[in-house]
């Protein structure tokens, strides 16, 4: 599960500059979902139709992260995310009066710096959307475009700062339905989402800046998730990991931090062939190791923030134990609602690479 709920709040806070209290913003995600479609168990997923928007649900996203390597073997990373939100329950899909709001986040992590960007658009006028035939997801010129209804093979093109990025994405592995056949429960209460992933995407492309191109190659991860009421009142934020191991296995783990310290843990262990095994709270031991203080911008204000940038992750039943750390501590998405998201190494890069997201700090 990828709970980038916080990011979605940007849809609200983008034009809500007066809004600064985090709790206030969280409240939006805890709003009553009445009027919107409810997330219930035993849904049958239907591909490629489910790659398209589900406007009856309040929020939804298409979330790509990728671990890349340059010719010198140094780690790079990209994040490309498209968020949709229905501002009111009954979806209005076309025209300027559409109640569909779109937001996109993109970031490039390089050995020489981190470059984030954020964009907004309203739905209904063609400035941003996700279309099924052929599959295309875009906001302005940030575009992910396939030739068929299947999202792979496809081209991902976007710009951040003065970088121009173009990648080819490919995958022939089955879709991974997270949680209980795609029904992803997030609390003991009603909070849940529909959630599927493609953890095995091969990616190649170039990052071009001032006429100089760097070829990049690696593994990408796509998450698709939609919901109407994603967050419980006592959940403060989350720590989320997607890891690619050298042996071809992949792992997704998250914890929703509860105010009482009894965090909600979940995850999945995915074989190189794309067969997944759901991990329950008792299967996961996630322990923060060292904290690091970094300089960040929050609502435009510079401040020093201490974040748990190194972790120990154990799966006792599978007899696995890894050290997670980041080579680039400065991967702060200084969007209007900010969070840390970026490249991490498994055991110093010896056993794999991945992406980590820390929110609510």
Partner 1 sequence: MSMLLLSLKALLSHYWRYPWQALFLLVGLCAGVGLWSAVQVINSHARASYEQANQVLGTQAHFWIRAANGTGVSTQDYTALRRLGFREVYPVVQGIITTATNQRIPLIATDPIVLPAEVLQTNTSTVAFNDLAFIQPPYQAWFPPDLANELNLTANTRVLLKNGQTLPPAILQTQAQQGRQVLLDIAPALKALQRSTLSYLAVTPLSSERQTQLEQALPPHLRLIPNRQSLDLTQLTQSLHTQLTAMSLLSFAVGLFIVFNAVRFSLWYRRPTLRTLRLIGVSVQTLMLAIGLETVIWSIVGSSLGLLIGYGLSQILLPAMSASLQSLYGANIGSHIILQPTTVLLAWLLTLGGLIIALALPLWQQLRLPVLPSHSLSTYWLTDQRTRRYLLLAAIGLSILALVLYPLISTLIQGFILLGIVLLAGAWALPSLLALSLTLLERLLPKHSFQGRWLIRDGWAQLPALRTAMMALLLALTANLGVEALVGSFRTALSDWLEQRLSSDLYVQGSSSFDLATLRANPSTATWLKAVNERTQVTLRYQDQPLVLRGLDHSAPDTQELGITQALPQTINLWRNLDTQQNWVLANEQLHFLGSKQIGEKLELQTPQGLKPFTIAAFVHDYGNPYYQLYIPNRVLKTYWPQPEPWNISLWLNNPSDLPKAEQALLNAGAKAGDWTVQQTIKAASMKIFERTFAMTAAINSLTLWVAGIALLAALMAILQERLPEFAQWRALGVNTREQWLVMSVPLLLWASITWLVALPLGALLSWLLIHKLNVMAFGWSMPLLWSMRPAGVLALMTLGVIAITLVVVAWQLKRQLPQTLARLGGQL
Binding marks (x or -) toward partner 1, 126..155, rule CB under 8 A? Answer: xx----------x-xx-x------------
Closest separation in Å from C-beta 340 to partner 1 = 14
- Which residues ranging from 152 to 171 are in contact with partner 1 (CB under 8 A)? 159
In the list 51, 54, 119, 200, the residue contacting partner 1 (rule: CB under 8 A) is 119
Residue among 169, 173, 171 nearest 143 (CA): 169
In the list 41, 49, 93, 95, the residue contacting partner 1 (rule: CB under 8 A) is 95
In the list 14, 37, 155, 315, the residue contacting partner 1 (rule: CB under 8 A) is 14
Beta bridge partners of 169: 154, 203
Angle between helices 5-13 and 22-29 (to 10 degrees): 110
The two beta strands, 75-86 and 339-346, are: unpaired
- Which residues ranging from 247 to 306 are in contact with partner 1 (CB under 8 A)? 297, 299-301
Long-range contact list for 152-156, CB < 8 A, 24+ apart? 152/198, 152/201, 156/64, 156/80, 156/205
In the list 18, 21, 273, 304, the residue contacting partner 1 (rule: CB under 8 A) is 18
- Burial classification of residue 314, based on how many CB atoms lie within 10 Å of its CB (0-12 exposed, 13-18 middle, 19 or more buried): middle
Tokens linked to 8: 């979605």
Q: Is there a contact between 64 and 221 (Cβ–Cβ < 8 Å)?
A: yes
In the list 69, 70, 125, 347, the residue contacting partner 1 (rule: CB under 8 A) is 125
In the list 88, 133, 277, 330, the residue contacting partner 1 (rule: CB under 8 A) is 88
Residue among 323, 326, 328, 329 nearest 347 (CA): 323
Closest separation in Å from C-beta 15 to partner 1 = 5
Determine if 12 is a binding residue for partner 1 (CB under 8 A).
Answer: yes
Determine if 214 is a binding residue for partner 1 (CB under 8 A).
Answer: no
Determine if 111 is a binding residue for partner 1 (CB under 8 A).
Answer: no
**Rounded CA separation 41/249 (Å):** 27
Per 3-state DSSP, the chain is made up of helix, strand and coil in percentages (nearest 5) of 10, 55, 40
Q: Which residue has the tokens 């209804």?
A: 149
Closest separation in Å from C-beta 260 to partner 1 = 32
Determine if 87 is a binding residue for partner 1 (CB under 8 A).
Answer: yes
Closest separation in Å from C-beta 285 to partner 1 = 35
Candidates 89-97, 233-241, 308-316, 318-326: pick the segment binding partner 1 (CB under 8 A). Answer: 89-97
- What is the phi/psi pair of residue 21, to 5°? -70, 120
Binding marks (x or -) toward partner 1, 27..66, rule CB under 8 A? Answer: ----------------------------------------
Candidates 92-100, 180-188, 251-259, 347-355: pick the segment binding partner 1 (CB under 8 A). Answer: 92-100
Residue among 132, 117, 129, 136 nearest 50 (CA): 132
- Burial classification of residue 46, based on how many CB atoms lie within 10 Å of its CB (0-12 exposed, 13-18 middle, 19 or more buried): exposed
Candidates 9-17, 48-56, 231-239, 340-348: pick the segment binding partner 1 (CB under 8 A). Answer: 9-17
Determine if 339 is a binding residue for partner 1 (CB under 8 A).
Answer: no
Determine if 217 is a binding residue for partner 1 (CB under 8 A).
Answer: no
- What is the phi/psi pair of residue 24, to 5°? -60, -45
Query: Which is closer to partner 1, CB of 24 or CB of 347?
Result: 24
- Binding interface with partner 1 (CB under 8 A): 12, 14-19, 87-88, 95-97, 99, 101, 116-122, 125-127, 138, 140-141, 143, 159, 297, 299-301, 334-335
């Amino acid at each position: 599960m990828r709970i980038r709920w916080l990011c979605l709040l940007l849809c609200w806070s983008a034009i809500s500059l007066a809004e600064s209290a985090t709790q206030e913003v969280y409240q939006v995600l805890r709003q009553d979902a009445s009027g919107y479609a409810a997330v219930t168990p035993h849904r049958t997923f239907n591909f490629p139709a489910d790659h398209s928007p589900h406007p009856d649900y309040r929020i939804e996203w298409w979330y790509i992260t990728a671990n890349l390597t340059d010719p010198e073997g140094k780690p790079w990373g990209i994040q490309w995310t498209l968020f949709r939100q229905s501002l009111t329950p009954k979806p209005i899909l076309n025209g300027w009066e559409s109640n569909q709001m779109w937001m996109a986040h993109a970031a490039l992590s390089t050995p020489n710096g981190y470059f984030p960007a954020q964009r907004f658009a309203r739905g209904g006028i063609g400035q941003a959307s996700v279309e099924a035939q052929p599959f295309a997801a875009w906001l302005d010129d940030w575009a992910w475009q396939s030739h068929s209804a299947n999202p792979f093979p496809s081209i991902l093109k976007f710009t951040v700062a003065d970088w121009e990025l173009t990648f080819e994405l490919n995958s022939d592995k089955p879709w991974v339905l997270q949680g209980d056949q795609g029904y992803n429960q997030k609390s003991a209460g009603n909070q849940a989402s529909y959630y599927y992933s493609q953890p095995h995407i091969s990616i190649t492309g170039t990052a071009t800046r001032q006429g100089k191109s760097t070829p990049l190659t690696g593994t990408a991860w796509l998450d698709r998730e939609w919901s109407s009421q994603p967050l419980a009142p006592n959940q403060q934020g989350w720590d989320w990991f997607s890891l690619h191991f050298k042996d071809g296995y992949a792992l997704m783990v998250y914890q929703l931090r509860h105010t009482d310290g009894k965090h909600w843990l979940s995850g999945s262990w995915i074989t190189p062939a794309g067969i997944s095994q759901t991990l329950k709270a008792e299967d996961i031991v996630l322990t923060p190791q060292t904290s690091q203080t970094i300089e960040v911008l929050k609502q435009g204000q510079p401040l020093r923030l201490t974040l748990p940038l190194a972790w120990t992750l154990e799966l006792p039943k599978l007899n696995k134990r890894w050290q997670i750390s980041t080579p680039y501590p400065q991967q702060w998405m200084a969007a209007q609602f900010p969070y840390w998201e970026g490249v991490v190494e498994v055991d110093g890069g010896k056993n794999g690479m991945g992406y980590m997201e820390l929110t609510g700090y």
